[in-house]
Structure 1
Amino acid sequence: MTTIRRHCVAHAALLLCALSRGTFAQDTASGDGALPAVTVTADAPGASPQHLGTKIGNGALGTASQLDTPFSTTVVTHEELADRQVSKLGDVFALDASVSDNSDAYNAWASYITIRGLPIDWQNGYRLDGKPFLAYAITLPYEHMERIELLKGASGFMYGFGTPGGIVNYVTKKPTDQPVHSIEIGYKTQGIWSEHVDLGGRAGTDDRFGYRLNATHEEGKTFNGGHTQRDSVSLSLDARLTRDLTWTFDGLYNKRKSTGQAASIYTGSYTGTTLPSVISSDNQNLLSAGQHITTDLKMASTGLQYKLSPDWTLAAGYSHSTSERSRNEGVLYLLDTSGNYTDYRSDSQEGHRFDQWQVTAEGRLRTGAIGHQLVLGASWQEQVNRYSSNSVYQAIGSGNIYARNTNSYFSNTDFAVYRASDITQRAVFASDTVALSDHWSVLAGLRSTDYEQNGYTASGVLSSQYKKSGVWTPTLALMFKPAPDTTLYASYVESLEPGSSAGITYANYGAVLDPLKSKQYELGVKTERERWSATAALFRIERGAEYANSANVLVQDGLSIYQGLELAASTRLGSQWRLGASLMALDSSYEQGSTYVGNRVAGAPHLVATASLGYDVAQLPGLKLSADVKYTGSTMLNASNQLKVPGYAVANVGASYVTRLGGYDTTFRFAVNNVANRKYWEYQYENYIKAGDPRTFSLSAKLDF
């Protein structure tokens, strides 16, 4: 109680400081009992939750609206992130049926999701303001994001290496012409307090200099009895050096430490054909002593943009990031349907560095009656992975998932971290969107990549090397616009990804497999009308198959085929109701020479569906209510299809209220996730499961001053 009381006093003091200008007293001193006037800021009645008019970054394709992008995309805005009170990446895309949650907010898997049944590549599948960083175990500060963009499917032409699942691009908040000053206080089950400050605006002659500063502190007891602490700071600057030349800088620091996180559950040694009964994830049965995950991300990028003419812009940029993690994680080797396990402990320290240079030219020209939107560019990037040579992976005991884990292991090793591998990519790319008429256009793009991957022993000796020059990854698309608000498209794109490194649970631990090439075919339509919007896509993805064979050796053999249908729509009914729905029907299989020809691909559910409902309360202007539900169908845990995760549905509810207190705009938010407290097993990775998150609630108060 003392700790809670101290938190409450500190947070109340922070809020009172923001109100210290005395306006609140002036507004309430009239004595007539009237409430302060309420100013409500809301989306226009016709605004679409799908945000199809929002311009997004598409790598080598340049910048275009979702409506004009011939691939399936999703955008989640900062307002939606705040309203949903998100804690992990699965929460961010909870309303997108193409995305399955594989994560836990407070352990090393917090940013794991699958898209169209494919995992995102933690080495190449994440971007921050379009720049690469190593995302493994990193949970970025969602409070600092203007929006989060998702490009579904193969992305080889747009970004270079990456799995054909897709690309997640975090876009940080940028300087605005109007000043921004806000503070926010939040609370989450079971005792996590957070404070967030957002400051921005412009200064100098003619508002030449812009700034945006965000800072967050979060700390407290997690829903399963563990503890988390996070400190994040981001800074975005720009300077209009001349009328045509602009300089930008973006920096982010994010450090997080969680202790007492739930162990991972490994099913590769499991003898049953059905999973044991689900356990509750908010008890402490799996919390063996000594577990922790600490991550530290530092990233900075800078660039120049020069307006060469009204139609052409030149840009050059550099980004540098380092991410480090120290992890003491339990891995429970589940043995039988009774829930018995062998308790392993993985203890290590790892680090990564990512550097990238890129130059681009983007503009328009005409050749006779035909218009061209051109993007030309070149990039260089180097990824360095550092691992500890004296990592610990050992059995520390046994137990049962339905009883308290009494095993313990505490880190007592000074880890010797060495340069284990590096990957260098050099690429040139070009794309041309050709406007054949007012309705028809063709997009063609080509990237050429020189690729080199080196592996080293702990003593620094080169142990493996893979080089490939002139690897071509093309993209083609045909687009038809019967009306300005509707686009029909057919697209083709290829991707290249580095081969996987066999993890410690495989018999060929440490082996590095060859790069994989993927192909994607997609037919789609997007439309955004005054009061409704809708998207649909048919897709087929062909990817080289990787899986553990019967000898538990990670191999590449045959193809993994993913073909499916995506549907999404949103509408407003009258002035108060908002409806949304999303569906993905997916057929996946191993083909062409694979040992498991005809089996479903691990991690790919047959069906995922979401529905959401929003209501603006007319009797209390500023109050919005929401509810949503997501059903995830059964998912195979391994390529042999010997074991699967049953389907499940999770429902959430929320509310937000915008009013004025003391002359300041104030927003209160409340959300309950898994409102029915549904217990379910969740697919985490091939041969890994976790217990789904329990019912949690969160609330926050934000004041603009």
Structure 2
Amino acid sequence: MGSIRTLVGVRALRTMALASASLFALTASAAAQQATARLDELSVEGSGRGAGATGGQPAQRGADGRVAPEDPRGPIAGYVATRSVTATKTNTPLIETPQSITVIGTEQIQAQGATTLTQATQYTAGIYSGVTGVDERVDFFNLRGFRASDYGIYKDGLQLLNYGFGTLKTEVFGLERIEVLRGPAAVLFGAGNPGGIVNQITKRPTLTPFGYVEIGGGSFGQVYGAFDIGGPADDSGHWFYRLTGIGRAGGTQVDGADSDRYYIAPALTYRPDAGTSFTLLTSYQRDSSAVTANFLPYSGTVRPNLSGLRIPRSLNVGDPTFNNFQREQLFAGYEFEHAVDATWTVRQNLRYSFSDGYQNSYVGQSGYADPAQTQLARYQFGFTDKVSLFQVDNQAEARFSDGLFRHDLILGVDYKNYTLHDNQQVLFPGPNLNLLNPIFGPPQDRAPTNLVDVPRFTQIGLYAQDQIKLTENLTLVAGLRQDFATSDVKVKFSRFGDQSSSRDDQALTGRVALIYNFDFGLAPYVSYSTSFQPQIGIDSITGGALVPDRGEQVEVGVKFQPIGERYFLTVAAFDLVRDNPPIPSPFANGSSTTQLGSVRSRGIEAQFVGNLFDGLNVVAAVTHFDLEYIKSQQTQLIGRTPIGVPETYASAFLDYTIPVGDYRGLGFGGGVRYVGRSFANDINSLTVPDFVLFDATVHYTWDRWRAAVTASNIGDRRFVTSCTDLNNCFYGEARRVLASVSYKW
């Protein structure tokens, strides 16, 4: 970090400020002339879920008869993506991107029967999904060993903050693709976990009409119906629409805990000419479920307890009569793009996000209440949280040659404003739960108010990045970003007294990377990057505001994608240091987060995705890293591995569809997932054992119809995903079978 500041100094900051001011002027001018923008290679394919890579239509071809380049926000042909905007914010081929990234399309999501972000990323390198087991409220995952489900989830390039109990969760059926970017990305996004981010790309309007409907059901009484329609909205060829929706209802693997959802997402594009477009993206979602993660003790889950018992996975540790979680969620925003001339393009991406959440339940985080370990101690917990998040990202991109080198320069200014109205209720103790004879009811009203506070967070960033073609094969990527952030928490009521806090932070982050593309498809690369993530909230030990989370990484890797072949291999080795990571702490001073020092993650990842021959799709991944505290206020942690993080995992999934003959359209496949051991306590004396899971799929496509059955954890293996301490362990997903029938036109 210091070397970067020395390199650029004050002059670079002035240059960025001037460039950003120019960008605002360009954006305002373009908006005044035409409040619309061009879509980057807008796909003409309808791609309802189950419609395949191109919605069952032939690939778009240009005037020369060649297949058009892949739309980096559109559908993927098979499993192998070729382009992305996540890593560079420009339309860059993955083989020319000097960072480790995996792209998951709707065809892969469908084949694996994934209905959540957790399930959709289980065959991806570097990411451990489902850290807290089956949690209907939010997706929990780690990237390169660090929790990324709080600051690391993005939607269409804009962050979804999950702080405290104010959460935002995206419906997978509404996504075109999921992109897992590993390593720091703060130079462009100004935030996010240094282990990486997960960017979810929303389905967008298409130029050609299409339609898709699907019904299905499966384990625990789950049933659902979904639709996806779109195409031209007028005869002039300027307006295009898309309407996506799904409704599901039924139970979960926890008795008496239902999971219902209703989701609708209208989208509209106005395209007055080839260089201008304006796309409105909206969605409304209502969730009604329960606390299913359960928060169980180590003794009785990982190992039998003193009475020789293991707590059933299906046990509702809360109370079926009032174990409630509800959330209403709204996204409303737009993507504007205008090609000013052959060199300059300006963009503005804006979104307002709102979430209104409610919970009232018993929670079993207190361990056992008796020496025989047959009585679970519980307390009542609830909250009513309202999240408001406004974001805007202004960009100006220039593609030009200076006479020696070709440049793809992007200048940007983004702004973020987050507010959480947080009201928590707690009652200690609650009634014990007898594991031998559980008795439930009657339903309880809300517990007494424990905390009322209003965390607020604002951030503005100026960034610049240049992708420079030094030769036809060698590309240099260099970027800088200056952030200014303010975080404050106004405590209106707390049983611990006034805990209001506030702090201002600023930071300069950067990235420099080189990648060399050999003509035969090999692309080695090296990169250095830093990260900055301002924190929201109060340190439970110091009582002050949490300090920013900073990261620094060196990554070397190689990518291989021979021209004309339909497979992609990425191998990456990295050395990542994270300072001030927020970690759970004992409940104190109204908070459960503290910061103890620095953690290093060093490891290697490999990801293979391929359409090896007609009808066969393959996904495989291997991840291994060493994670340890290298600095800590608690000296006993130095050299130890943080809890709840498996350091080795691997997976492989194959799906084959018979392409010709009498059995044409019949497909089948399966997968295997291995997750290594993790630690359950700070001194690493207790472990959570490794486990292996098997998945399967069978499907048949004829004419416009498709029928499928998918099954995950087909052996119904009972396993624990992780433990955050001896009283908080989480069961993984039980066997889940899903059957569906779909029709497209």
Class of the TM-score when normalised by the shorter of the 2 chains: 0.7 to 0.9
In the TM superposition, 1:377-396 aligns within 5 A as: 377-388=412-423, 391-396=425-430
Q: Which residue of 1 aligns with 2:718?
A: 679
Q: Please tell me whether the aligned partners of residues 105 and 177 of structure 2 are also in contact (alpha carbons under 8 angstroms).
A: yes
- How big is the alpha-carbon RMSD for the aligned residues of Structure 1 and Structure 2? 3.1
Q: Which residue of 1 aligns with 2:83?
A: 54
SS of 2:173 mapped into structure 1:
helix
Q: Deviations over 1:248-271 (max 9, x none)?
A: 11001111001474522366xx89
Q: Which residue of 2 aligns with 1:218?
A: 248
In the TM superposition, 1:297-336 aligns within 5 A as: 297-332=329-364, 333-335=366-368
Q: Please tell me whether the aligned partners of residues 86 and 157 of structure 2 are also in contact (alpha carbons under 8 angstroms).
A: yes
Mapped to 2, the partners of 1:668 and 1:442 lie a distance apart of 47
Q: Which amino acid aligns with 2:82?
A: G
Q: Which residue of 1 aligns with 2:156?
A: 129
With 678-687 and 165-174 compared, the bigger mean Cα shift is at 678-687
SS of 2:739 mapped into structure 1:
strand
Q: Which residue of 1 aligns with 2:394?
A: 359
Q: Please tell me whether the aligned partners of residues 285 and 404 of structure 1 are also in contact (alpha carbons under 8 angstroms).
A: no
Q: Give the share of equivalent positions with the same residue, in percent.
A: 21
Q: Which residue of 1 aligns with 2:530?
A: 494
- Displacement of 1:193 in angstroms is 1.2
Mapped to 2, the partners of 1:176 and 1:402 lie a distance apart of 57
Q: Please tell me whether the aligned partners of residues 420 and 457 of structure 1 are also in contact (alpha carbons under 8 angstroms).
A: yes
- Displacement of 1:543 in angstroms is 0.7
- Displacement of 1:603 in angstroms is 2.8
Q: Deviations over 1:376-425 (max 9, x none)?
A: 0101111111101x522432122355653646652346979966111110
Q: Please tell me whether the aligned partners of residues 185 and 700 of structure 1 are also in contact (alpha carbons under 8 angstroms).
A: yes
Distance 1:151 1:570, change over 3 A: closer
Give the one of 546, 549, 553 matched to 1:520: 553
Q: Which residue of 2 aligns with 1:26?
A: none
Mapped to 2, the partners of 1:106 and 1:646 lie a distance apart of 18
- Displacement of 1:613 in angstroms is 2.3
Q: Which residue of 2 aligns with 1:88?
A: 116
With 638-647 and 258-267 compared, the bigger mean Cα shift is at 258-267
Mapped to 2, the partners of 1:235 and 1:299 lie a distance apart of 11
- Displacement of 1:610 in angstroms is 0.6
With 473-482 and 603-612 compared, the bigger mean Cα shift is at 603-612
Mapped to 2, the partners of 1:167 and 1:260 lie a distance apart of 26
Distance 1:408 1:157, change over 3 A: farther
SS of 2:188 mapped into structure 1:
helix
Distance 1:104 1:557, change over 3 A: closer
Give the one of 655, 664, 687 matched to 1:644: 687
With 329-338 and 595-604 compared, the bigger mean Cα shift is at 329-338
In the TM superposition, 1:579-594 aligns within 5 A as: 579-594=618-633
- Displacement of 1:633 in angstroms is 0.6
Q: Which residue of 2 aligns with 1:561?
A: 600
Q: Please tell me whether the aligned partners of residues 350 and 387 of structure 1 are also in contact (alpha carbons under 8 angstroms).
A: yes
SS of 1:395 mapped into structure 2:
coil
Mapped to 2, the partners of 1:421 and 1:296 lie a distance apart of 20
- Displacement of 1:368 in angstroms is 1.8
Q: Which amino acid aligns with 1:218?
A: R
Q: Which amino acid aligns with 1:311?
A: T
Mapped to 1, the partners of 2:611 and 2:246 lie a distance apart of 35
Q: Deviations over 1:537-585 (max 9, x none)?
A: 0011101254467998854233111111101224455545444421101
Mapped to 1, the partners of 2:210 and 2:56 lie a distance apart of 17
1:658 paired to 2:701: yes
Mapped to 2, the partners of 1:42 and 1:275 lie a distance apart of 57
Q: Please tell me whether the aligned partners of residues 357 and 381 of structure 1 are also in contact (alpha carbons under 8 angstroms).
A: yes
Distance 1:178 1:103, change over 3 A: farther
Number of aligned residue pairs = 652
- Displacement of 1:493 in angstroms is 1.4
Q: Deviations over 1:29-76 (max 9, x none)?
A: xxxxxxxxxx988999xx986524132333x64332322222111111
Mapped to 1, the partners of 2:131 and 2:105 lie a distance apart of 21
Q: Which residue of 2 aligns with 1:349?
A: 384
1:439 paired to 2:473: yes
Distance 1:259 1:73, change over 3 A: same
SS of 1:482 mapped into structure 2:
coil
Mapped to 2, the partners of 1:450 and 1:478 lie a distance apart of 28
SS of 2:191 mapped into structure 1:
coil
1:79 paired to 2:107: yes
Q: Please tell me whether the aligned partners of residues 674 and 693 of structure 2 are also in contact (alpha carbons under 8 angstroms).
A: yes
In the TM superposition, 1:180-579 aligns within 5 A as: 180-225=210-255, 226-259=257-290, 261=292, 263-265=294-296, 276=305, 279-284=311-316, 287=319, 289-332=321-364, 333-335=366-368, 338=373, 340-388=375-423, 391-399=425-433, 404=438, 406=440, 410-412=444-446, 420-458=454-492, 463-469=500-506, 471-483=507-519, 485-499=521-535, 501=537, 512-529=545-562, 530-544=565-579, 545-547=581-583, 554-571=593-610, 575=614, 577-579=616-618
Mapped to 1, the partners of 2:619 and 2:508 lie a distance apart of 39
SS of 2:110 mapped into structure 1:
helix
- Displacement of 1:126 in angstroms is 1.7
Q: Which residue of 2 aligns with 1:690?
A: 730
Distance 1:686 1:63, change over 3 A: farther
Q: Which residue of 1 aligns with 2:664?
A: 621
Distance 1:311 1:252, change over 3 A: same
Q: Please tell me whether the aligned partners of residues 331 and 351 of structure 2 are also in contact (alpha carbons under 8 angstroms).
A: yes
What is the TM-score when the length of structure 2 is the normalising length?
0.81
Distance 1:560 1:300, change over 3 A: same
Q: Which amino acid aligns with 1:438?
A: E
SS of 1:157 mapped into structure 2:
helix
SS of 1:222 mapped into structure 2:
coil
Q: Which amino acid aligns with 1:316?
A: Q
SS of 1:302 mapped into structure 2:
strand
Q: Which amino acid aligns with 1:467?
A: D
1:633 paired to 2:676: yes
- Counting strand residues as a fraction of each chain, which structure ranks higher? 1
Distance 1:88 1:275, change over 3 A: farther
Q: Deviations over 1:107-153 (max 9, x none)?
A: 4554111122211142x322222222334554422111111111122
Q: Please tell me whether the aligned partners of residues 426 and 450 of structure 2 are also in contact (alpha carbons under 8 angstroms).
A: no
- Displacement of 1:338 in angstroms is 4.3
Mapped to 2, the partners of 1:311 and 1:146 lie a distance apart of 29
Q: Please tell me whether the aligned partners of residues 457 and 463 of structure 1 are also in contact (alpha carbons under 8 angstroms).
A: yes
SS of 2:431 mapped into structure 1:
strand
Q: Please tell me whether the aligned partners of residues 347 and 411 of structure 1 are also in contact (alpha carbons under 8 angstroms).
A: no
With 248-257 and 49-58 compared, the bigger mean Cα shift is at 49-58
Q: Please tell me whether the aligned partners of residues 395 and 412 of structure 2 are also in contact (alpha carbons under 8 angstroms).
A: yes
Which segments of 5 or more consecutive residues in structure 2 lack a partner in the other structure? 1-54, 60-66, 68-75
Q: Please tell me whether the aligned partners of residues 481 and 487 of structure 1 are also in contact (alpha carbons under 8 angstroms).
A: yes
SS of 1:458 mapped into structure 2:
strand
- Displacement of 1:243 in angstroms is 4.2
Distance 1:215 1:49, change over 3 A: closer
Mapped to 2, the partners of 1:337 and 1:159 lie a distance apart of 52
Q: Please tell me whether the aligned partners of residues 546 and 555 of structure 1 are also in contact (alpha carbons under 8 angstroms).
A: yes
With 393-402 and 673-682 compared, the bigger mean Cα shift is at 393-402
